[in-house]
Amino acid sequence: MKRLYRLEPATFANIWGGNKLRAFGKSSEADRIGESWELSFVTGSEAKCDGVKTAELFDKSAWGERAAKFDFFPTLTKFIDAREKLSVQVHPSDAYALENEGQYGKSEMWYVVSADEGAGLYMGFNKEYTPCEIEAAIADGSIEKMLAFKEVAAGDVFFIPAGTVHAIGGGVLIYEIQQNSTLTYRLYDYMRRDKDGNLRELHIEKAMKVLNTGVYQPEAFDNADEGGRLIGKCEYFIAREYDVNAPLTLKTTKKSFLALTVISGAGSILAGDSTYTASAGDSFFAPANEGEILIVGDMKLITVEV
Protein backbone atom coordinates (compact mmCIF):
# COMPACT_ATOMS: atom_id res chain seq x y z
CA MET A 1 0.00 0.00 0.00
CA LYS A 2 1.29 3.45 -0.92
CA ARG A 3 2.06 5.99 1.77
CA LEU A 4 -0.12 8.71 0.22
CA TYR A 5 -3.09 8.85 -2.19
CA ARG A 6 -4.61 11.77 -4.06
CA LEU A 7 -8.35 11.98 -3.37
CA GLU A 8 -10.89 12.32 -6.17
CA PRO A 9 -13.95 13.94 -4.54
CA ALA A 10 -17.64 13.42 -5.14
CA THR A 11 -19.35 16.67 -6.20
CA PHE A 12 -22.97 17.76 -5.82
CA ALA A 13 -25.10 20.27 -7.72
CA ASN A 14 -27.06 21.80 -4.83
CA ILE A 15 -29.71 24.41 -5.63
CA TRP A 16 -27.93 26.95 -3.42
CA GLY A 17 -24.45 26.18 -4.86
CA GLY A 18 -22.18 28.51 -6.81
CA ASN A 19 -19.14 28.34 -9.09
CA LYS A 20 -16.21 29.09 -6.77
CA LEU A 21 -15.20 25.44 -6.52
CA ARG A 22 -14.27 25.29 -10.19
CA ALA A 23 -11.24 27.46 -9.33
CA PHE A 24 -10.29 24.67 -6.89
CA GLY A 25 -10.24 22.12 -9.68
CA LYS A 26 -13.70 20.68 -9.02
CA SER A 27 -15.79 19.72 -12.02
CA SER A 28 -19.41 18.89 -12.70
CA GLU A 29 -21.79 18.80 -15.65
CA ALA A 30 -24.17 20.97 -13.61
CA ASP A 31 -24.03 24.77 -13.66
CA ARG A 32 -23.54 25.01 -9.90
CA ILE A 33 -21.38 22.99 -7.56
CA GLY A 34 -22.53 23.28 -3.96
CA GLU A 35 -20.42 20.58 -2.32
CA SER A 36 -17.24 18.63 -2.95
CA TRP A 37 -16.87 15.68 -0.58
CA GLU A 38 -13.12 15.36 -0.27
CA LEU A 39 -12.72 12.49 2.20
CA SER A 40 -15.89 10.44 2.00
CA PHE A 41 -16.66 6.82 2.78
CA VAL A 42 -20.42 7.48 2.51
CA THR A 43 -22.10 4.74 0.46
CA GLY A 44 -23.02 6.08 -2.95
CA SER A 45 -21.04 9.28 -2.42
CA GLU A 46 -17.54 7.94 -1.86
CA ALA A 47 -14.41 9.80 -2.83
CA LYS A 48 -12.01 7.76 -4.96
CA CYS A 49 -8.28 7.14 -5.18
CA ASP A 50 -6.86 5.96 -8.49
CA GLY A 51 -10.46 5.46 -9.63
CA VAL A 52 -11.30 3.10 -6.75
CA LYS A 53 -13.83 3.98 -4.05
CA THR A 54 -12.26 4.74 -0.68
CA ALA A 55 -14.46 2.19 1.07
CA GLU A 56 -13.19 -0.52 -1.27
CA LEU A 57 -9.54 0.52 -1.16
CA PHE A 58 -9.04 1.13 2.56
CA ASP A 59 -10.02 -1.37 5.25
CA LYS A 60 -9.77 -0.77 8.99
CA SER A 61 -6.04 -1.37 9.00
CA ALA A 62 -5.70 1.81 6.90
CA TRP A 63 -7.99 3.77 9.22
CA GLY A 64 -5.72 3.33 12.23
CA GLU A 65 -6.22 1.98 15.72
CA ARG A 66 -8.29 4.89 17.02
CA ALA A 67 -10.72 4.95 14.08
CA ALA A 68 -11.01 1.15 13.93
CA LYS A 69 -13.10 1.15 17.11
CA PHE A 70 -16.02 2.52 15.05
CA ASP A 71 -18.29 0.36 12.91
CA PHE A 72 -17.98 2.99 10.17
CA PHE A 73 -15.28 5.38 8.96
CA PRO A 74 -15.76 8.24 11.46
CA THR A 75 -14.92 11.37 9.46
CA LEU A 76 -16.26 13.26 6.45
CA THR A 77 -14.65 16.40 4.98
CA LYS A 78 -16.07 18.65 2.29
CA PHE A 79 -15.94 22.06 0.62
CA ILE A 80 -19.24 23.96 0.62
CA ASP A 81 -19.83 26.90 -1.74
CA ALA A 82 -22.95 28.76 -0.62
CA ARG A 83 -23.99 31.11 -3.43
CA GLU A 84 -27.28 31.40 -1.53
CA LYS A 85 -28.17 30.73 2.10
CA LEU A 86 -28.47 27.13 3.19
CA SER A 87 -31.52 26.00 5.14
CA VAL A 88 -31.87 26.72 8.85
CA GLN A 89 -31.11 23.31 10.31
CA VAL A 90 -29.93 21.28 13.27
CA HIS A 91 -28.29 17.90 13.77
CA PRO A 92 -29.23 15.52 16.60
CA SER A 93 -26.87 14.02 19.14
CA ASP A 94 -25.68 10.44 18.90
CA ALA A 95 -27.96 9.41 21.75
CA TYR A 96 -31.13 10.78 20.11
CA ALA A 97 -30.20 9.64 16.61
CA LEU A 98 -29.33 6.10 17.65
CA GLU A 99 -32.57 5.72 19.57
CA ASN A 100 -34.85 7.31 16.99
CA GLU A 101 -33.11 7.03 13.62
CA GLY A 102 -30.93 3.94 13.93
CA GLN A 103 -27.87 5.97 12.99
CA TYR A 104 -25.43 8.45 14.52
CA GLY A 105 -25.96 12.19 14.92
CA LYS A 106 -23.54 14.88 13.85
CA SER A 107 -21.15 17.43 15.25
CA GLU A 108 -19.13 19.46 12.76
CA MET A 109 -16.78 22.38 12.33
CA TRP A 110 -16.44 25.09 9.73
CA TYR A 111 -13.22 26.62 8.44
CA VAL A 112 -13.90 29.76 6.38
CA VAL A 113 -11.95 29.62 3.12
CA SER A 114 -13.34 32.90 1.76
CA ALA A 115 -16.29 35.20 2.28
CA ASP A 116 -17.82 38.01 0.24
CA GLU A 117 -18.06 41.39 1.92
CA GLY A 118 -20.75 41.28 4.62
CA ALA A 119 -21.26 37.51 4.29
CA GLY A 120 -21.48 35.35 7.38
CA LEU A 121 -22.81 32.41 9.32
CA TYR A 122 -25.84 31.85 11.53
CA MET A 123 -25.07 29.98 14.76
CA GLY A 124 -27.52 29.56 17.61
CA PHE A 125 -30.10 32.10 18.73
CA ASN A 126 -29.47 35.74 19.60
CA LYS A 127 -31.09 35.16 23.01
CA GLU A 128 -32.97 32.42 24.86
CA TYR A 129 -36.34 31.64 23.25
CA THR A 130 -39.15 29.33 24.25
CA PRO A 131 -40.08 26.40 22.00
CA CYS A 132 -43.42 28.09 21.31
CA GLU A 133 -41.68 31.27 20.13
CA ILE A 134 -39.38 29.28 17.85
CA GLU A 135 -42.23 27.29 16.30
CA ALA A 136 -44.23 30.48 15.73
CA ALA A 137 -41.23 32.08 13.99
CA ILE A 138 -40.84 29.05 11.74
CA ALA A 139 -44.51 29.27 10.81
CA ASP A 140 -44.44 32.98 9.90
CA GLY A 141 -40.96 32.90 8.32
CA SER A 142 -39.24 35.18 10.83
CA ILE A 143 -36.92 32.62 12.42
CA GLU A 144 -33.87 34.05 10.64
CA LYS A 145 -34.27 37.24 12.71
CA MET A 146 -33.94 35.16 15.88
CA LEU A 147 -30.60 33.64 14.88
CA ALA A 148 -27.21 35.05 15.83
CA PHE A 149 -25.44 36.24 12.67
CA LYS A 150 -21.68 36.72 12.49
CA GLU A 151 -19.77 38.24 9.60
CA VAL A 152 -16.76 36.08 8.81
CA ALA A 153 -13.40 36.24 7.07
CA ALA A 154 -10.93 33.70 5.72
CA GLY A 155 -9.37 31.65 8.51
CA ASP A 156 -12.25 31.93 10.95
CA VAL A 157 -13.15 28.63 12.63
CA PHE A 158 -16.32 27.51 14.40
CA PHE A 159 -17.13 24.20 16.06
CA ILE A 160 -20.84 23.37 15.77
CA PRO A 161 -21.88 20.70 18.29
CA ALA A 162 -25.01 18.64 17.77
CA GLY A 163 -28.12 20.56 18.83
CA THR A 164 -26.90 23.95 17.53
CA VAL A 165 -29.32 25.60 15.10
CA HIS A 166 -27.26 26.95 12.22
CA ALA A 167 -27.15 28.05 8.59
CA ILE A 168 -24.39 29.00 6.17
CA GLY A 169 -24.98 32.42 4.67
CA GLY A 170 -24.74 33.25 0.98
CA GLY A 171 -21.30 34.28 -0.24
CA VAL A 172 -19.35 31.98 2.09
CA LEU A 173 -16.99 29.22 0.98
CA ILE A 174 -16.11 26.85 3.79
CA TYR A 175 -14.19 23.66 4.43
CA GLU A 176 -16.28 21.47 6.70
CA ILE A 177 -14.93 18.68 8.88
CA GLN A 178 -17.64 16.58 10.43
CA GLN A 179 -18.69 13.38 12.05
CA ASN A 180 -19.53 10.95 9.27
CA SER A 181 -23.31 11.35 9.21
CA THR A 182 -25.79 12.80 6.74
CA LEU A 183 -28.60 13.20 9.28
CA THR A 184 -30.03 16.74 9.09
CA TYR A 185 -33.30 18.26 10.35
CA ARG A 186 -34.46 21.35 8.43
CA LEU A 187 -36.48 23.95 10.32
CA TYR A 188 -36.87 26.52 7.55
CA ASP A 189 -35.84 26.74 3.88
CA TYR A 190 -37.17 30.09 2.57
CA MET A 191 -39.98 28.32 0.66
CA ARG A 192 -37.45 27.05 -1.88
CA ARG A 193 -38.37 24.33 -4.32
CA ASP A 194 -36.25 21.43 -5.51
CA LYS A 195 -35.39 20.63 -9.13
CA ASP A 196 -38.81 19.01 -9.55
CA GLY A 197 -40.66 22.08 -8.30
CA ASN A 198 -41.57 20.67 -4.90
CA LEU A 199 -41.05 22.44 -1.59
CA ARG A 200 -38.09 20.87 0.18
CA GLU A 201 -38.95 18.66 3.14
CA LEU A 202 -38.85 20.12 6.65
CA HIS A 203 -38.41 18.17 9.88
CA ILE A 204 -39.80 20.61 12.42
CA GLU A 205 -41.17 18.12 14.94
CA LYS A 206 -37.89 16.22 15.17
CA ALA A 207 -35.82 19.40 15.16
CA MET A 208 -37.73 20.85 18.11
CA LYS A 209 -36.86 17.78 20.16
CA VAL A 210 -33.10 18.18 19.72
CA LEU A 211 -32.29 21.87 19.32
CA ASN A 212 -30.72 24.12 21.93
CA THR A 213 -32.93 27.17 22.49
CA GLY A 214 -30.18 29.51 23.71
CA VAL A 215 -27.09 31.40 22.59
CA TYR A 216 -24.23 29.60 20.82
CA GLN A 217 -21.03 29.49 22.84
CA PRO A 218 -17.85 29.24 20.71
CA GLU A 219 -15.42 26.55 21.81
CA ALA A 220 -11.75 27.35 22.30
CA PHE A 221 -9.10 24.69 21.73
CA ASP A 222 -5.80 24.27 23.54
CA ASN A 223 -3.03 24.68 20.98
CA ALA A 224 -0.19 23.48 23.18
CA ASP A 225 -0.17 19.91 21.90
CA GLU A 226 1.52 18.78 18.67
CA GLY A 227 2.22 21.68 16.33
CA GLY A 228 0.08 23.53 13.86
CA ARG A 229 -3.04 25.35 15.04
CA LEU A 230 -5.54 23.02 16.63
CA ILE A 231 -8.86 24.15 15.14
CA GLY A 232 -11.23 21.33 16.06
CA LYS A 233 -11.35 18.23 18.21
CA CYS A 234 -13.96 15.67 19.16
CA GLU A 235 -14.33 11.90 19.26
CA TYR A 236 -14.65 11.74 15.47
CA PHE A 237 -11.86 14.02 14.26
CA ILE A 238 -8.86 16.18 15.17
CA ALA A 239 -8.15 19.06 12.79
CA ARG A 240 -5.11 21.32 12.54
CA GLU A 241 -4.10 24.23 10.31
CA TYR A 242 -0.54 24.70 9.07
CA ASP A 243 0.98 27.74 7.36
CA VAL A 244 3.72 26.12 5.30
CA ASN A 245 6.54 28.44 4.25
CA ALA A 246 9.45 26.14 5.11
CA PRO A 247 9.76 22.38 4.73
CA LEU A 248 7.29 20.64 7.06
CA THR A 249 7.53 16.99 8.07
CA LEU A 250 4.41 15.22 9.29
CA LYS A 251 4.71 11.77 10.82
CA THR A 252 2.05 9.17 10.26
CA THR A 253 1.51 6.40 12.81
CA LYS A 254 -0.48 3.23 13.28
CA LYS A 255 -2.92 5.12 15.52
CA SER A 256 -4.69 7.08 12.76
CA PHE A 257 -4.98 7.88 9.09
CA LEU A 258 -3.96 11.40 8.06
CA ALA A 259 -5.97 13.45 5.57
CA LEU A 260 -4.55 16.65 4.07
CA THR A 261 -6.32 19.43 2.16
CA VAL A 262 -4.64 22.48 0.62
CA ILE A 263 -6.65 25.62 1.32
CA SER A 264 -4.43 28.11 -0.52
CA GLY A 265 -1.05 28.30 -2.19
CA ALA A 266 0.89 25.50 -3.82
CA GLY A 267 3.85 23.19 -3.41
CA SER A 268 4.82 19.54 -3.34
CA ILE A 269 4.24 16.60 -1.04
CA LEU A 270 6.84 13.84 -0.81
CA ALA A 271 5.82 10.46 0.58
CA GLY A 272 7.96 7.36 0.22
CA ASP A 273 9.24 7.23 -3.36
CA SER A 274 6.45 9.45 -4.72
CA THR A 275 6.17 13.21 -5.18
CA TYR A 276 2.79 14.91 -5.62
CA THR A 277 2.08 18.42 -6.82
CA ALA A 278 -0.34 20.20 -4.49
CA SER A 279 -2.42 23.32 -5.04
CA ALA A 280 -5.51 24.93 -3.56
CA GLY A 281 -8.38 22.45 -3.40
CA ASP A 282 -6.25 19.29 -3.55
CA SER A 283 -6.85 16.61 -0.92
CA PHE A 284 -4.82 13.55 0.03
CA PHE A 285 -5.18 10.46 2.22
CA ALA A 286 -2.34 8.80 4.09
CA PRO A 287 -3.21 5.35 5.48
CA ALA A 288 -2.22 4.65 9.06
CA ASN A 289 1.40 3.48 9.11
CA GLU A 290 4.83 4.40 10.41
CA GLY A 291 6.28 6.95 8.02
CA GLU A 292 6.94 10.57 7.19
CA ILE A 293 5.42 13.01 4.71
CA LEU A 294 7.47 16.02 3.63
CA ILE A 295 5.62 19.14 2.52
CA VAL A 296 7.44 21.95 0.70
CA GLY A 297 6.17 25.16 -0.85
CA ASP A 298 4.06 28.10 0.25
CA MET A 299 0.60 26.96 1.25
CA LYS A 300 -2.08 26.84 3.91
CA LEU A 301 -2.90 23.26 4.81
CA ILE A 302 -5.48 21.51 7.00
CA THR A 303 -4.85 18.05 8.36
CA VAL A 304 -7.47 15.69 9.79
CA GLU A 305 -7.01 12.53 11.84
CA VAL A 306 -8.76 10.71 14.68
Provide the phi-psi class of 62: left if phi over 0, else alpha when psi is between -120 and 50, else beta.
alpha
- Rounded Cα–Cα distance for residues 94 and 174 (Å): 24
Report which of 29, 53, 120 is spatially closest to residue 82, judged by C-alpha positions.
120
| H/E element, 137 | helix 131-140
Asked if 6 is an active-site residue, the reply is no
Whole-number Cα distances in Å, 287 to 87, 194, 267: 35, 38, 21
Burial 216-226 (b: 16+ CB within 10 A, else e): beeeebeeeee
Find the catalytic residue in 32, 83, 186, 240: 186
* CA atoms in the 13 A half-sphere facing the CB of 114: 13
Our measurement of the distance from residue 299's CA atom to the centroid of its chain's CA atoms, rounded to an integer in Å, reads 20
Spatial separation of the C-alpha atoms in residues 232 and 252, rounded to whole Å: 19
CB neighbourhood size of 87 (10 A): 18
- Residue 184 CB neighbour total at 10 angstroms: 14
> From CA 234, how far away is CA 1, in angstroms rounded?
28
Q: Give catalytic residue positions.
A: 186
